[in-house]
C-alpha cells in the first residue's frame, strides 16, 4: 500500500496503555506514521480487557476504538533480551510515547535520558497525570482526578447539585491532543536542530489548559466560577430550554441575535429593560432572564422552535442522543462513521477522521492489531537492518 500521507516515514513507538497515549499515537498513525504498539506479554494493553461488553473477539470495543493504524509487538521490558530488542527499535524510531507514572519508565530502563543516548534525534513524549515535576507529580493519573483537581468539576453540572464530571474524558483526550501537537512541533524543530527533545503533557494541564472561559472569569471577577448547567459564561441567553415535547438549545450570543430571538418568541417587551439591555447585563441577570423566557418556549414543540429560530438566523438545534447523531445524514455526509475490516470481528463501526486533509486524506491502513500480530514481521525488519539476530522459526 502506497503511503503518501504527511507523516509517512515517521516511526512511532507506542509504549502506552488505555487512552491518552494510545489516542495520541492513533492520531499520528492516521496521518501516515508507522506506529508500533509495544505491549506486555499475555494481556497486552490493559484496555484490551476493559469495558463490560464485547463484539465477537476478546478485545474490547474501547481498545478497537483507540488503536487502528498500528502494528503490535509483545516485549517484556523487564527481560534483558526483549529490552535489547526494544533498544534496537528505538534506533529506528522518530518518536516514543509513554504514559506511565513519573519514574516508571526510568525503572524499566526506557526513560528519556537512556533512549536519547541511543538515538539523539528521538522525540520522547511522556503523558502523565500531573506532569514530571511539582508536588502532585507522583499521584495516579486518572481523568476523574484531573477534572476534580484542575477546577473543572467545580464549574460543571447543575447549580446546588452534587458534583459531576464532564462525561467526555477531557483530561485524557486533551492531553493526547496536546501531546500530538507537541510531537509535531518537535519534528519541525528537529529539521533545524537535528536533535530530538522531551515533550511532556498531563491530564491535569490539559483540563486546566482548556478552562479558558473559567479562568478568564476568575481573574476578571476574583470569584471561582460556579456550575451553570447548559448555560454559557460569556453570553446569555445561550442554553437548553424545554419546549412542549422536550428540550432543545439556542444561542442568542450577541445583540443582533438577542433582538431576533425576541421577535420570534414575541417578547420584544424585554428589549428595553435595563437589566437585559446588552450582553453584559444579560449574563449578570441570566437566571432571571431564562425564567422569564421559559413560559414562551413551552408553547410549541422543539422542532417548531428550532425551525423558527433558524429561519430568523438564531443558532438552534435539537438535543440528539448518540443513536440519533450517528444515524444523521450530516454525520454520514461528513464521513464520521466508518466500517473497519478486522480479522476477528469481520468488521466493526468506528468514528471517522474529525479533521480532513484535501490532498493527503487519512486512510485506515491497519485495523487495530491482535496482540503480537506483527511481532515476527517487526523482528525480521530489525534483523534486516543488522540490529538484532534473525529470529528463529517457531
Q: Over its length of 394 residues, how does the chain's per-residue pLDDT go in tens digits?
A: 567 899 999 999 999 999 999 999 999 999 999 999 999 999 999 999 988 888 888 999 999 999 999 999 999 999 999 999 999 999 999 999 999 999 999 999 999 999 999 999 999 999 999 999 999 999 998 999 999 999 999 999 999 999 999 999 999 999 999 999 999 999 999 999 999 999 999 999 999 999 999 999 999 999 999 999 999 999 999 999 999 999 999 999 999 999 999 999 999 999 999 999 999 999 999 999 999 999 999 999 999 999 999 999 999 999 999 999 999 999 999 999 999 999 999 999 999 999 999 999 999 999 999 999 999 999 999 999 999 998 887 6
Q: Are the beta carbons of 129 and 112 closer than 8 angstroms?
A: no
Phi, psi of 346 (to 5 degrees): 85, -70
Phi, psi of 303 (to 5 degrees): -60, -40
What structural domains and CATH numbers belong to the chain? Answer: 11-210+329-384 (3.40.50.10540), 238-320 (3.30.1540.10)
Three-state SS for 254?
A: coil
CB atoms inside a 10 Å sphere around CB 113? 9
Question: Which residues, including other chains, have CB under 8 Å from residue 20's CB and lie 6 or more apart?
Answer: 99, 127, 172, 173, 175, 176, 179, 201, 203
In angstroms, the CA 194 to CA 188 distance is 10
In angstroms, the CA 16 to CA 319 distance is 35
CB atoms inside a 10 Å sphere around CB 385? 11
Question: Which residues, including other chains, have CB under 8 Å from residue 184's CB and lie 6 or more apart?
Answer: none
In angstroms, the CA 181 to CA 164 distance is 29
Question: Which residues, including other chains, have CB under 8 Å from residue 164's CB and lie 6 or more apart?
Answer: 153, 156, 157, 158
DSSP code, position 229: T
* pLDDT at site 56: 86
Helices (H), ranges, the chain:
20-30, 61-66, 80-92, 104-107, 112-118, 143-149, 170-193, 203-209, 212-221, 255-265, 279-284, 286-297, 302-311, 322-327, 329-333, 375-384
* pLDDT at site 382: 97
In angstroms, the CA 137 to CA 130 distance is 5
In angstroms, the CA 74 to CA 36 distance is 10
Q: Are the beta carbons of 248 and 300 closer than 8 angstroms?
A: no
- The pTM assigned to this predicted structure is 0.95
What are 311's three cell numbers? 429561519
Three-state SS for 49?
A: helix
* pLDDT at site 3: 78
Would you name the residues annotated as active-site residues?
172
What are 299's three cell numbers? 408553547
How many C-alpha atoms does 283 have within 13 Å on its Cβ side? Answer: 12
Three-state SS for 45?
A: coil
How many C-alpha atoms does 333 have within 13 Å on its Cβ side? Answer: 3
Rg (CA), the chain: 25
- Residue 267 Cα distances to 12, 247, 316, angstroms: 58, 20, 18
**For residue 121, cis peptide bond before it (omega within 30 degrees of 0):** no
- Stated as kind and residue range, the H or E segment containing 200 is strand 198-202
The residue with cell 437548553 is 240
In angstroms, the CA 38 to CA 36 distance is 6
Q: Which of 63, 119, 150 is nearest to 340 (CA)?
A: 63
**Exposed e or buried b per residue across 30-45, where buried means at least 16 C-beta atoms within 10 angstroms of its C-beta:** bbbbbbbbbbbeeebb
Amino acid at each position: 500500500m502506497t503511503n503518501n500521507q504527511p507523516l509517512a516515514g515517521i516511526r512511532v513507538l507506542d509504549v502506552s496503555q488505555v487512552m491518552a497515549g494510545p489516542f495520541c499515537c492513533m492520531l499520528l498513525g492516521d496521518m501516515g506514521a508507522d506506529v508500533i504498539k509495544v505491549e506486555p506479554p499475555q494481556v497486552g494493553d490493559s484496555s484490551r480487557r476493559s469495558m463490560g461488553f464485547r463484539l465477537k473477539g476478546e478485545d474490547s470495543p474501547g481498545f478497537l476504538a483507540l488503536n487502528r493504524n498500528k502494528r503490535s509487538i509483545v516485549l517484556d521490558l523487564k527481560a534483558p533480551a526483549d529490552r535489547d530488542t526494544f533498544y534496537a527499535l528505538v534506533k529506528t524510531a522518530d518518536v516514543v510515547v509513554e504514559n506511565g507514572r513519573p519514574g516508571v519508565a526510568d525503572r524499566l530502563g526506557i526513560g528519556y535520558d537512556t533512549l536519547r543516548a541511543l538515538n539523539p534525534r528521538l522525540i520522547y513524549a511522556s503523558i502523565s497525570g500531573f506532569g514530571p515535576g511539582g508536588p502532585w507529580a507522583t499521584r495516579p493519573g486518572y481523568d476523574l482526578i484531573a477534572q476534580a483537581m484542575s477546577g473543572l468539576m467545580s464549574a460543571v453540572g447543575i447549580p446546588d447539585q452534587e458534583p459531576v464530571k464532564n462525561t467526555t474524558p477531557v483530561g485524557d483526550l486533551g492531553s493526547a491532543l496536546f501531546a500530538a501537537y507537541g510531537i509535531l512541533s518537535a519534528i519541525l524543530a528537529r529539521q533545524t536542530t537535528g536533535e530530538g527533545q522531551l515533550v511532556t503533557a498531563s491530564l491535569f494541564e490539559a483540563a486546566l489548559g482548556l478552562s479558558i472561559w473559567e479562568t478568564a472569569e476568575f481573574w476578571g471577577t476574583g470569584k471561582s466560577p460556579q456550575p451553570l448547567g447548559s448555560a454559557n459564561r460569556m453570553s446569555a441567553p445561550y442554553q437548553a430550554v424545554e419546549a412542549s415535547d422536550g428540550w432543545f438549545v439556542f444561542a442568542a450570543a450577541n445583540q443582533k441575535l438577542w433582538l431576533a430571538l425576541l421577535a420570534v418568541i414575541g417578547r420584544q417587551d424585554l428589549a428595553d429593560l435595563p437589566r437585559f439591555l446588552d450582553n453584559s447585563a444579560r449574563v449578570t441577570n441570566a437566571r432571571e432572564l431564562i425564567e422569564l423566557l421559559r413560559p414562551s418556549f413551552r408553547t410549541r414543540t422543539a422542532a417548531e422552535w428550532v425551525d423558527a429560530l433558524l429561519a430568523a438566523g438564531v443558532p438552534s438545534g435539537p438535543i440528539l442522543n448518540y443513536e440519533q447523531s450517528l444515524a444523521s445524514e450530516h454525520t454520514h455526509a461528513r464521513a464520521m462513521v466508518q466500517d473497519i475490516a478486522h480479522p476477528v470481528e469481520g468488521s466493526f463501526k468506528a468514528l471517522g477522521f474529525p479533521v480532513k486533509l484535501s490532498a493527503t486524506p487519512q486512510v485506515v491502513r491497519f485495523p487495530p492489531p491482535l496482540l503480537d500480530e506483527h511481532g515476527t514481521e517487526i523482528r525480521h525488519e530489525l534483523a534486516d537492518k543488522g540490529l538484532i539476530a534473525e529470529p528463529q522459526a517457531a
